[in-house]
Amino acid sequence: MSGKIKNRSGANADLTSGGVSCDERILRDCHQLYADPESGLISVAQSVGVTLLPPRKKITVMLMGNHSAGKSSFINWYVEEHIQRTGVAIETQGFSFVTSGRKRESLTGNATLHLYPHFKPLQEFKGVSEYLGTEVCTSRQKRFSLVTFVDSPGLVDGDMKYPFDVDEAIMWLGELCDLILVFFDPMGQALCKRTLNIVERLNEKHGDRLHFYLSKADEAGSESDRQRVMMQIVQELCKRPGLNKCGFDMPTIYIPNPNKPSRCVNQIEEVCRTVEKTINQTVQNTLNSLEKDCEVITEAIADTLAVDRQTGAQNRRARCKGCFMALLGFVVPLALLGLLVLGTLSRELLEMALGPQGTEALSLYLAPVVRGFESLSVEHQLYACGGLVFLSFLLLILARFSFRTRTTLSGRQKRQLQEKLEYVQDVVKSKKKKLYSEYLRQSVGDQDMDM
C-alpha cells in the first residue's frame, strides 16, 4: 500500500436499489473491507505478519439423509425453481452446490472448486472431484441470496457402492457448514444405519448445527401412522448415547401441493426460520469478528512500531559502544608512538615546543610510565609493546562487531504503518459501528439505539 490509504467510507455507500437486503449488504460490505486489494484488512494484516480470512458472504447449509428423503425437492421448493432432479431413484450421486447468481449456469467439479476455494481440500478424497457440481440460479426467493445449499448423496445400507468415501466426505463438509439439515424419510428408509452413524459422529463435534426433520410426512399415512414412525425414529436415535439429549425436536415437513391437500401439520416454515436464524447469527458473528480483527491488527501495528523503537535504541547503544572501542583501539598505538617519539627528543627541543611549564607537566605525568617501562628488560619491553599492539587490534575487532546493527523501519514505512493504524481505527471501526447500527435497526426502534 503506497501513499495515504484511501478512505473507503464513500465507496461502501448504502445500496438501496436492486432488492438487496440489509443482511446481504452488511455481509458484502464486510467482505469488501477484508478483500480490497489496496486497503483491505487482509493486506493490512499481512504487512505486520498477521493472517486473516475473509468472511463468507453466504451461509452454507448441507442437507443429508437417506435416498429419496426429499432433500432435492426441498431445495427446489425453497428457491421456487426446478434446479435439482428428484425421484425415487438415487438422483444425487455426488455433492451438488446450489447458489444464487446473475444467470442460470451449471458448473463442473473444477469450476466448483474455483468458485469455492475453501472447499479445495475435498480433492484429497479420491473420486470426489468428479462428483462435484454447482447449480447457479437467479432466484431471490426467501433468503436464498444469502444461502448456499449442499445437496449430499442419498445414503443407503447394504452393498451400495459409492465412487468415493461418502462418510468421510460428509464429515469433512460438516466442519465447514453453518447448518446441517437431516431429513428422515418415513417410507422405510428412516432407520438407515449409515445415516444414523454419520449423524452420531457429526453430533459429537457439531451438535448445535444439526436439525432433524421427518420429511414427506404427508405420505406417512394417518396421524397414528406418523406418530408410530416418529416413535421408531426417536427410539433408534435414543439408543445412541450421543443423540439421546434433552430438548430433541423433529418437526414434520412436506412439500405443499395445492392439488393434493393434506391434513398433516406442515412445519416446513420451521426450516425457513432455522435458516433465517443462522443467517442472523452469521451477520452478528461477522461483525464481531470484524471488531476483533481490527483489535488484532491495531495491536500488531503498535507492537511493530514499539519493537522498531526498541531496536533503534539498541542500535544507538551499539554504535556508541563501537565508537568507544574504536577510539581506545586507536589511542593505545598513538600513545605508544608518542612515548617513543618523546623519548628520542632532547629536553631543549621539548622546551622549545611546549615551553618550560609544558615540559615539566609532561615529565610529571609520563615519569611513572617511563620509569616503569625503563625498569623492564629489553625483551620484556618488546613483549609489552607487542601486547599493547595486540590489545589495539582486539579493541578494533570488537568495535567492528559492535557496529553491527539490526534493520529498522524507514521513515516511509513508519508513516505507512501509522496511516494503516489510523485507517483501521477511524475508517474500519466507524464502518463496523454503522453496519451494526443498521443491523439492529431492523428489529430495534431508534429510541432504543444508543449509537
CB 213 within 8 A of CB 251: yes
Residue 117, classified by CB atoms within 10 Å of its CB into exposed (0-12), middle (13-18) or buried (19+), is: exposed
Q: What is the DSSP string of 377-417?
A: -HHHHHHHHHHHHHHHHHHHHHHHHHT-------HHHHHHH
pLDDT for residue 261 = 74
pLDDT for residue 53 = 80
Long-range contacts from 70-75, C-beta under 8 angstroms, 24+ separation? 70/183, 70/185, 70/215, 70/216, 70/254, 70/255, 71/151, 71/152, 71/154, 71/181, 71/183, 71/215, 72/151, 73/255, 74/181, 74/183, 74/215, 74/253, 74/255, 74/268, 74/271, 75/149, 75/151
Residue 411, classified by CB atoms within 10 Å of its CB into exposed (0-12), middle (13-18) or buried (19+), is: exposed
The C-alpha cell at 91 is 438422483
pLDDT for residue 323 = 80
Angstrom distances, CA of residue 22 to CA of 78, 271, 437: 20, 21, 11
CA–CA separation, 399 vs 404, rounded Å? 9
Task: Kindly report the pTM of this predicted structure.
Answer: 0.70
Q: How many CA atoms lie within 13 A of 290 on its CB side?
A: 31
pLDDT for residue 347 = 62
Low-confidence ranges of the chain (pLDDT < 70): 1-20, 86-92, 157-160, 187-192, 220-221, 240-247, 335-351, 353-354, 359, 362-374, 376, 381, 401-404, 444-451
Is residue 109 classed as helix, strand or coil in its secondary structure? Answer: helix
- DSSP annotation of 140 reads -
pLDDT for residue 156 = 78
Q: What is the DSSP string of 70-102?
A: SHHHHHHHHHTS--S--SSS----SEEEEEE-S
CA–CA separation, 84 vs 77, rounded Å? 10
Give tens-digit pLDDT for 332-388.
777 666 666 666 556 666 667 667 777 677 666 666 666 666 676 777 767 777 777
The C-alpha cell at 428 is 474500519
pLDDT for residue 1 = 46
CB 74 within 8 A of CB 63: yes
Long-range contacts from 224-232, C-beta under 8 angstroms, 24+ separation? 226/186, 226/252, 226/264, 229/186, 229/190, 232/190, 232/191
Residue 344, classified by CB atoms within 10 Å of its CB into exposed (0-12), middle (13-18) or buried (19+), is: exposed
pLDDT for residue 259 = 78
pLDDT for residue 306 = 87
Is residue 155 classed as helix, strand or coil in its secondary structure? Answer: strand
pLDDT for residue 4 = 45
